[in-house]
A and B are shown apart, each in its own frame.
Chain A
């Protein structure tokens, strides 16, 4: 390690820690515990969803068929690609490749932006089809019309979950985009070295978690009961 690197290492050490390794261990533990709180936070929604899906399967199936499965699948791939670029950006920080780090962070942001754009389009479609609980609920014909009496109300519960779950997910993505922007700016200035890139790793873990939530949202919201 050169003197400059040693200085940079010391510059990143907070006063309450004895050495950089303790700080890195603490940071890692901290973000993982935070992710566990996010598991429980989204988990409450998943638990409620599980109950109602079991109770009102037909209505959930009917609601799910209104969603555009191709857009959902394509968006899933977009988000998975963003996880790839995020992992590659962390790797670039590890290897000290500043240019690649910045480029991969920007790529992650672009992919995240595409995802959010598609979601915005999908939300707009829901207004066009009048299946927005509380704001514009006046569904016409199609699959929802074939539900048993009471099914329309249950379908409203399904769409409430659709908006609550994807909305909360989208909110987390927007926060993630802001964090990525902050990272990209800092990376451009050269703040990260192979010995100090904890913020990149921490944001990376957060981003992957948000991706995992979507990995479950896609089948649970878009692929209910099949389309045959």
Chain B
């Protein structure tokens, strides 16, 4: 038949995505949901940049003498990999994307407390990123992301000042985000939403924001002093003047250790949400998990000296920092036990978000346990500066934080985009990422234990097999990361339309359409039940 009936095109209801068109409506938006998407695109861009540096490093390391670049270039690769991944991907990731999108929805508000500061924080992030990209293009930086003096302040002739400006500026993006979250959570909760009815993701965002607000300014002043010293060839870290390089390390790690909790706490919040939903069960020990988030934020500020056990710190200070580092592991362990207890006798389904959450629990536990080896003074003497450290923090930051981020993206994607993605591909990608990750980083634990130093462009020949294994794993991991990029973008056009609550989850964000209208709720909701009212009659003790 030649006459075909045209299907009437169904107009999507008015939501935050189609409320307005044109680049101005995106670049000058004050809608927290659009700002979250601006961040999503930007941090994905920086993830690719930082990942590319890692790919080049792993290619280089397939041969003991180095296969790709000169040692000076290799130094620049690991430096920029660290700077980009930490400051421009990990630290913003969950807070700036998922936090910005979800915090107002979860508290039942129409936006964050300060929408203009929110947009400003994105622009600040972009400007900082541009300075960093400039520093990479204009010759790179070779100091390590830790910028230890006096090499960075006096001797390195790479683009230290430019990248310092970039990191300094981006810090304010973090500060403004944290400030916004704290005020929103304190002052804009919907009627009936008491502190202990909040979803644990909000507790995680709150604890993370405390760290952002208290710690980042110290990084800012430290980087500022570093830039001054590099620029004017005189400063307080210069041994020639009687300056102590270790003072830089104190000031630097005062922020940079809590920074790792900025990276992991949000992922833990995501995992709590996912586990509760896909086990159809309240989180076991809700209050303990909430308090442990805050405990991690506070205790995390007291342990920074464990990065300085072998650089000349006093032994007694080392003792105290070591003891406190053991203490800070406790609230993290408590969370792992609580998640596992939640799974026990739960009604578990294995959609993609749940796969990421379970992967998180296993890999984070491994990373966390190896942290204890490093917190112990005696073992750290041998393991510091080796690939053991590299493996430890990648297990937490990639096996933990990135998996948490991807789990969160997959969990809330229907809400954010109004579309569903194919679960088969998502599960496959999660499996490939898990396998690729372990193949990349487990050999590095062994390498570190055997004594291979980190930040070296070459290594003894007997370590080659493990290095090749790690590089092979990196390839698998890279493929795993590319797959979601494809199907998530595909889903925006061709994915099935998502209903308001496709997972049957609790939480105010699921009580509004997918995607939500610009004003979030037709009417501000009133909260009458606890956070995870999944199966009240089976609820295990709290």
Contact = CB atoms under 8 A, between A and B. Distances in A.
Interface stretch (B111-119, B153-161, B462-470, B491-499): B111-119
A30 B236 contact: no
A164 B182 CA distance: 31
Nearest to B246: A51
Is the contact region of chain A dominated by helix, strand, or loop, or is it mixed?
helix
Interface in A21-60: 22, 25-26, 29-30, 33-34, 36-38, 40-45, 47-48, 51-52, 55-56
Contact of B179 (A17, A33, A154): A33
Interface string B210-245: 000111111011100100100011111000111110
* Smallest CB-CB A-B distances: 4 pairs: A134-B232, A44-B221, A41-B217, A16-B111
Nearest to B212: A37
A37 B216 contact: yes
B216 to A, nearest CB: 7
Contact of B251 (A14, A29, A48): A48
Nearest to B116: A14
Contacts of B257: none
A78 interface: no
B62 to A, nearest CB: 42
A153 interface: yes
A135 interface: yes
A48 B247 CA distance: 7
Interface stretch (A66-74, A86-94, A155-163): A155-163
In this complex, the member of B111, B241, B247, B251 whose beta carbon has the largest number of chain A beta carbons within 10 angstroms is B241
B110 interface: yes
Contacts of A17: 188
Contacts of A34: 179
B242 A18 contact: no
30 contacts: A15-B519, A16-B111, A16-B115, A17-B188, A18-B524, A22-B187, A25-B187, A26-B114, A26-B188, A29-B183, A29-B187, A33-B182, A34-B179, A36-B213, A37-B213, A40-B215, A41-B217, A41-B220, A43-B221, A44-B217, A44-B254, A52-B236, A52-B243, A55-B242, A133-B234, A134-B234, A154-B242, A156-B241, A160-B235, A164-B228
Given A16-B188, A45-B221, 19 more contacts: A15-B111, A16-B110, A16-B112, A18-B524, A22-B187, A26-B188, A30-B113, A37-B175, A37-B213, A41-B217, A44-B218, A48-B225, A51-B244, A52-B236, A154-B242, A157-B241, A157-B242, A161-B236, A164-B228
Contacts of B251: 44, 47-48
A160 B217 CA distance: 20
Interface in A98-153: 133-135, 137, 150, 153
Contacts of B236: 48, 52, 157, 160-161
A154 B232 CA distance: 17
B179 A137 contact: no
Given A16-B109, A160-B236, A26 B215 contact: no
B345 interface: no
B186 interface: yes
A51 to B, nearest CB: 6
Contacts of A14: 115
Interface string B330-367: 00000000000000000000000000000000000000
Nearest to A47: B251
Interface residues of A, number: 39
A154 B524 CA distance: 61
Nearest to A59: B242
Interface in B164-207: 175, 179, 182-184, 186-188
A26 B175 CA distance: 16
A33 B213 contact: yes
Contacts of A36: 213-214
Contact of B242 (A26, A29, A44, A153): A153
A38 B179 contact: no
A134 B179 CA distance: 37
A40 B172 CA distance: 13
B217 A40 contact: yes
A26 B111 CA distance: 13
Contacts of A157: 236, 241-243
Contacts of A41: 217-218, 220-221
B218 A43 contact: yes
B218 A40 contact: yes
B218 to A, nearest CB: 5
A120 to B, nearest CB: 20
Contacts of A45: 221, 225
Contacts of A38: 217
Contacts of B218: 40-41, 43-44
Nearest to B178: A33
Contact of A29 (B109, B112, B186): B186
A209 to B, nearest CB: 13
Contacts of A25: 187
Contacts of B182: 29, 33
Interface string A144-187: 00000010011011001100100000000000000000000000
Nearest to A22: B187
Contacts of B111: 15-16
